[in-house]
A and B are shown apart, each in its own frame.
Chain A
């Protein structure tokens, strides 16, 4: 079998190792490691899971088990440059959250959890974003988009956005 090129960069591994002294065992690094890889790649493909497990001294199944529990880390293909979480929980729903989600998916021609063909935008339904004072709201990368209407949201999600964390 030909060895596949490594997905985890030295930098990612260094970032993971930098957190190791915080925890008494390496399994606790699972979520931080998944976040580090996800922040860099916008997804965590299965091979990255195998490599994370290798770095942490775990079975790949242990890392994969944790990963799948959260349904947060995509595995098939990367998320868009902008990952938008549209809140559908009660305070937002009372102010049009469901309609917002439907509108945005329709306008961008994708289903919930889908990514536009140009790889720019992923739209996902989210539960309460903890910003009910600004309902309906969207978390787009690190930006909280407050008091959205279908029109303002559509315009906001066309903008490029940094990803700091």
Chain B
């Protein structure tokens, strides 16, 4: 295979790569000027649709198709919300794009706003990214000064303002309707869909929500073309009419127990093993992997035996994971107790559930309490069935919750118990020799910091 030359990460390591001068010298903003002169918004929608680009924020929905859901001939305003809440544990590629190449992101936003006829774009940026905040604000100021933002961009009839809006450390603000509620100044309670944001979104107006990396891809498609984009990645499965394929480059975040954690750009479809060995320098300390998270903690776990699974949109699902998610690969070595892993996962979701839906609010907190108890040497085998029951019943898929956070909370539980049940059983029997077989109800232990 030809070694792949990074495109989205082209500016990483380039001195002053974040400046508009550097971005222009790499060919940036030239495509935007061409588009504004020669193309109608609908042409840009068609271009992005034809590229096969699927959203990089986690759900993998076709970007061009999402744009076509906006009402035709709407009097406006139409809003574009850029999701820079990036809070899925293991994920940091948006941060790198915003810090090292903010103009690539901004050009993508301008092109997408043109396509969707939005004249205001909000970038919802998580609080914990002060460096991204500064880099983006500087880049936005530069873009205004250069005439790429503001009124009548480059002499066209198209006008656009981009505003940064800062979050306040809540994972749920990454869910697109939670983001919208938060932007409106309310608690970030996700909305029941439909109506989808394209019909009724921010300030009750038609709205598109897209991820930062999706924006960078739009900029590159405009620069390098649809054929270039479709020449990369995994083509649609001809035997599966519902598979739209996994085209384009992807930023994989590699962390946990690897020698060289980092953000690596490769064509979609690299396997976890290749990523770990060829980019990450292998599992650290010469150890073996016990389990690997394929795309952020919500996606569940792959075992060592499943590491040859291609990380395209369809791959992780074939081994029982929720999906590709954010393509954040976290390596867990053989010395880690699976009980500790699941405790960490349950603590995260118990902390981040917005509390709106009972199965999620109670399920996440109850599962954490059980894991606390198991860790404290008071586990019973019966707890594993109860955990599995929680995992099987909370989420949008079983139909019991408003948003996908609950599915993301359920998946690590389901995968861990299914794929590592023996280890859980051994742990429980060893740490609770007197009581592992008890099936009576147990009073929950006091726990700290799970609100």
A: which residues have CB within 8 A of B? 22, 24-25, 27-32, 34-35, 62, 65-66, 69-73, 85, 88-91, 93-95, 112, 125-135, 139, 142, 144, 164-165
Could you tell me if A34 and B168 are in contact, using CB atoms closer than 8 angstroms? yes
Could you tell me if A127 and B351 are in contact, using CB atoms closer than 8 angstroms? yes
Could you tell me if B89 and A128 are in contact, using CB atoms closer than 8 angstroms? yes
Contact partner of B129 (CB less than 8 A), chosen from A66, A94, A112, A130, is A130
User: Given contacts A71-B451, A91-B255, A94-B256, are A132 and B170 in contact (CB under 8 A)?
Assistant: no
Residues from chain A with a CB closer than 8 A to the CB of B130 are: 139, 142, 164-165
Could you tell me if A91 and B128 are in contact, using CB atoms closer than 8 angstroms? no
Residues from chain A with a CB closer than 8 A to the CB of B163 are: 22
Total chain B interface residues with beta-carbon distance under 8 A = 62
B: which residues have CB within 8 A of A? 77, 86-92, 94-95, 126-131, 133-134, 161, 163, 165-171, 182-188, 203, 253-257, 261-263, 293, 297, 328, 330, 332-333, 336, 340-341, 344-345, 347-348, 351-352, 354, 448-449, 451
User: Given contacts A89-B89, A94-B336, A128-B88, are A66 and B166 in contact (CB under 8 A)?
Assistant: no
Could you tell me if B293 and A90 are in contact, using CB atoms closer than 8 angstroms? yes
Contact partner of A70 (CB less than 8 A), chosen from B90, B170, B333, is B170
Minimum CB distance partner of B88 in chain A: A128
Residues from chain B with a CB closer than 8 A to the CB of A125 are: 449
User: Given contacts A29-B185, A85-B128, A132-B261, are A90 and B256 in contact (CB under 8 A)?
Assistant: yes
Could you tell me if A127 and B188 are in contact, using CB atoms closer than 8 angstroms? no
Distance between Cα atoms of A128 and B90 in the complex (Å): 7
**Could you name 12 residue pairs across A and B whose Cβ atoms are closer than 8 Å?**
A66-B185, A66-B186, A72-B168, A89-B297, A112-B448, A128-B89, A130-B87, A130-B126, A133-B255, A133-B262, A139-B128, A142-B130
Could you tell me if A132 and B253 are in contact, using CB atoms closer than 8 angstroms? yes
User: Given contacts A66-B185, A70-B170, A165-B134, are A127 and B165 in contact (CB under 8 A)?
Assistant: no
> Distance in Å from the Cβ of A18 to the closest Cβ of chain B?
12
Since A28-B183, A69-B187, A132-B261 are in contact, a sample of 9 more A-B pairs with Cβ atoms closer than 8 Å, ordered by chain A residue number, is: A31-B168, A70-B170, A85-B128, A89-B348, A90-B293, A112-B449, A127-B171, A132-B90, A142-B130
Distance between Cα atoms of A62 and B95 in the complex (Å): 32
Minimum CB distance partner of A147 in chain B: B261
**Residues of A contacting B: mostly:** mixed
How many inter-chain residue pairs (CB < 8 Å) link A and B? Answer: 147
**Residues of B contacting A: mostly:** mixed
Residues from chain B with a CB closer than 8 A to the CB of A88 are: 344, 347
Could you tell me if B166 and A35 are in contact, using CB atoms closer than 8 angstroms? yes
Distance between Cα atoms of A78 and B247 in the complex (Å): 49
Minimum CB distance partner of B343 in chain A: A93
Residues from chain B with a CB closer than 8 A to the CB of A165 are: 130, 133-134
Contact partner of B341 (CB less than 8 A), chosen from A73, A90, A133, is A90
Distance between Cα atoms of A28 and B130 in the complex (Å): 21
Residues from chain A with a CB closer than 8 A to the CB of B187 are: 65-66, 69
Contact partner of A73 (CB less than 8 A), chosen from B167, B168, B262, B354, is B168
Contact partner of B256 (CB less than 8 A), chosen from A25, A28, A91, A130, is A91
Distance between Cα atoms of A165 and B262 in the complex (Å): 26
B89, B95, B161, B256: residue with the most chain A Cβ atoms closer than 10 Å = B89
